[in-house]
Structure 1
């Protein structure tokens, strides 16, 4: 199936998608800040430039988009056009995520991932519950947490 818009229009549309300050990220940031957690944003010194860095807890949180990171959920669908490009891109993103996570763990950082489907879509979790789960994880000694929608 061919795309319904021209390649130039599709390129402009894709270039306009934000990588920072996304809605899921803002929900997490606002909620955790209200609970008293303080963090740095997008620290370039750390592998993967985590969305939120909690130095006090030696923890980072990534707010991952289900499409861009190829999450196995109802939000992610393989594009029907330009399939080879998208498969290579998403698989490369997943490989880079694994490498960044491994480097962060080697540096002693704890890693949290909150998937987009946890905060939007038909299987989402109440955003307050997601924030509480993140807060509980930050204050625990658990090495990692991954929060996705209820499937």
Structure 2
């Protein structure tokens, strides 16, 4: 049972942002410290990737474990209320993510997904970004 009234719950959910989230800002800071230059949320690419490295043809999505259902992650728990609603919502998110990544691949872009829980080890994220940007275009 939800212990917050519906109006307050609705207000809380409405405040969840899709851009400039804390995990996204962390990845941006890491990339910037590495000297990598990127563009943000390019509208001409499927899914409007969070970071785009045009020189390397790399699109980076920073996914929250809860919303994008990180397999095997404790943060990908499911709410106990409105189970059918949340199952459909999460399934649609995962299907949309797969569709967008596949479309980017068809357009010749490499796709990298950085999960929110991966940001605990920023050195590992930097290593992944380094290896992904060293791939020849």
Give TM-score, length-normalised by structure 2. 0.94
Q: Are residue 11 (structure 1) and residue 6 (structure 2) matched?
A: no
Q: State how far apart, in whole Å, the 1-side matches of 2:114 and 2:38 are.
A: 16
1:133-148 to 2 correspondence within 5 Å?
A: 133-141=128-136
Displacement after TM superposition at 1:49 (Å): 0.5
Where in structure 2 are there 5+ consecutive unaligned residues? none
Q: Indicate the SS of the match to 2:76.
A: coil
Q: What is the RMSD computed on CA atoms of the aligned residues?
A: 1.3
Whether the aligned pair in 1 keeps the contact of 2:49 and 2:61 (CA below 8 Å) is yes
The aligned length equals 136
TM-score (norm 1): 0.86
- Which structure 1 residue ranges, 4+ long, deviate > 6 Å from structure 2? none
Task: Write 1 or 2 for the structure with the bigger share of helix.
Answer: 2
User: Any idea what the Cα deviations from partners look like across 1:70-105, whole Å, max 9, x if unmatched?
Assistant: 112111101001111111001000010111011100
Q: List gaps (5 residues or longer) in structure 1.
A: 143-151
Equivalent position of 2:98 in the other structure: 98
Deviation at 1:135, TM superposition (A): 1.6
**Bigger relative contact order, structure 1 or 2, given CA contacts below 8 A and separation 6+?**
2
Specify the alignment match of 1:118 in structure 2.
118
> Following superposition of structure 1 onto structure 2, how do residues 44-59 of structure 1 map, counting pairs within 5 Å?
44-59=43-58
Q: What's 2:108 paired with?
A: 108
Question: How far apart are residue 141 of structure 1 and its match?
Answer: 4.9
